[in-house]
Amino acid sequence: MAKKKSKEILFDPLFENNPITVQVLGICSALAVTVKLMPAIVMALSVMAVVAFSNVIISLMRRYIPMRVRIIVQLVVIATLVILVDMLLKAFAYDVSKQLSVFVGLIITNCIVMGRLEAFAMDNKPWASFLDGIGNGAGYGLILIIVAFLRELFGNGTLFGHKVIPQWLYDHGYMDNGMMLMPAMALITVGIIIWVQRSLMPQLTEKE
């Protein structure tokens, strides 16, 4: 793990070591924001920013943090960054910030952030930690965007709020599947994504 190349640090978390489907981190906030594409993208960018910068900050301080109180130190750094993100969203994207409601605040307890701080930033240099943060944020965002794309397309027939399913399909009896907008279908969609991914990458299959 010590001497990974920057490229690997950046791209591993996208597929092979994806935070959601493989490391099982940060599912909490991942699913609730995926009804529409726009909030999902905003959420992905916010998480990416928080992971990357908290990784850098903790990595810079890693020699000075006493082991016993490190969780509190990490939480304070994360909470500060999340407050910044929340205020930026409220200032520049008020509608989306209203839709995300409590889930921006929940980035604090998003296990991706804590998990990466513990697993990576505590014993790596700042630049590598930054790449790790960007990579994991992107891996998280990728799943969010796939789920949101499927749910908005089949649930509403729209993407980013624009109609994409042509009218003649509706005339022939096509209907939007309201079920896709229910929370339950987010879970099942992620389950299916995991299934597809593990069929393509058999090394990830769980033995038991």
DSSP string, 44-73: HHHHHHHHHHHHHHHHHHTTTS-GGGHHHH
190 to 8, 67, 187: CA distances (angstroms): 25, 36, 5
Cα(189)–Cα(197) distance, rounded to whole angstroms? 12
User: 92-111: which residues touch another protein (CB under 8 A)?
Assistant: 101-102, 105-106, 108-111
Measured from the CB atom, the residue of 2 and 69 that comes closer to another protein is 69
Measured from the CB atom, the residue of 3 and 205 that comes closer to another protein is 205
Residue 158 corresponds to which amino acid?
A: T
Phi/psi of residue 82, each to 5°? Answer: -65, -40
Residue of the chain from 64, 67, 173, 202 that contacts another protein (CB under 8 A): 202
Residue of the chain from 87, 88, 164, 169 that contacts another protein (CB under 8 A): 87
Measured from the CB atom, the residue of 48 and 117 that comes closer to another protein is 117
Cα(39)–Cα(144) distance, rounded to whole angstroms? 10
Measured from the CB atom, the residue of 87 and 169 that comes closer to another protein is 87
Size of the site for another protein (CB under 8 A): 48
Contact between 155 and another protein by CB under 8 A: the answer reads no
The residue whose two tokens read 């022939």 is 172
Chain residues binding another protein by CB under 8 A are: 21, 24-32, 71-72, 75-76, 79-80, 82-83, 86-87, 101-102, 105-106, 108-111, 114, 182-188, 190-192, 194-195, 197-199, 202, 205-206, 208
